[in-house]
Structure 1
Amino acid sequence: MPEDPIAHNELAALTRRFQEVAEKNDREFGIVKSDLTAVRLQVGNLDQKVDRLDARLDALGEQMNRNQAQIIELLSRLVGRDPSAG
């Protein structure tokens, strides 16, 4: 039984279209994957920066508490009152 040339041509055309779409999808998937990797790196960098800022804020809060305690002590000496006496 001989092959139908029209059916053969249609099958070849469909195969080419399928391969073109598959290649396009592969390229687009690669681009999305690359973009996702870049976003993950940026999020990781931001996370590290936030952690460093948290540490700095904690240190700043401790310094402010020490400074406030010193100010209260100095003001108390200036007016001659004991701050723990109430």
Structure 2
Amino acid sequence: MAEDPIAQGEAAALTRRFEETAQKNDREFGIVKSDLTALRLQVGNLDQKLGNFIEETRELRQEMNRNQAQIIELLSSLVGKSPDAS
């Protein structure tokens, strides 16, 4: 039985479209994968910066607490003293 040339042409066109779409999908997947990798690096960098910020904030809070304690200690030692006394 002879092959139908119209059916062969349609099959070839469908195959071509399928392969073109598959290539396009592969390229787009590669772009998305690359973007995702870049995003992961940025998130990691932000996570590190946030960790550093939290540590610096904790250290600053401790220093403020020490300074506040020193101020309270100094003010407490002045309570009841004459302002003219040295």
**Displacement, 1:13?**
0.4
TM-score computed with the length of structure 2 as normaliser: 0.89
Aligned residues: 81
For CA contacts below 8 A with separation 6 or more, give which structure has more relative contact order: 1
**SS of equivalent to 1:62:** helix
TM-score computed with the length of structure 1 as normaliser: 0.89
**SS of equivalent to 1:2:** coil
Where do residues 9-28 of structure 1 align in structure 2 (5 Å cutoff)? 9-28=9-28
**Structure 2: where are the runs of 5+ without partners?**
82-86
**SS of equivalent to 1:3:** coil
Aligned-pair identity in percent equals 72
Where do residues 24-35 of structure 1 align in structure 2 (5 Å cutoff)? 24-35=24-35
Where do residues 63-78 of structure 1 align in structure 2 (5 Å cutoff)? 63-78=63-78
AA of the residue aligned to 1:68: Q
Whole-Å separation in 1 of the counterparts to 2:67 and 2:78 = 16
Where do residues 33-44 of structure 1 align in structure 2 (5 Å cutoff)? 33-44=33-44
Whole-Å separation in 2 of the counterparts to 1:6 and 1:62 = 83
AA of the residue aligned to 2:63: Q
Aligned partner of 2:84 in structure 1 is none
Q: Pairwise CA RMSD of aligned residues?
A: 1.2
Q: Please give the per-residue CA displacement for 1:19-78, whole angstroms capped at 9, x wherever unaligned.
A: 000001111111111111111110000000000011101100110010000000111122
**Structure 1: where are the runs of 5+ without partners?**
82-86
Whole-Å separation in 2 of the counterparts to 1:69 and 1:75 = 10
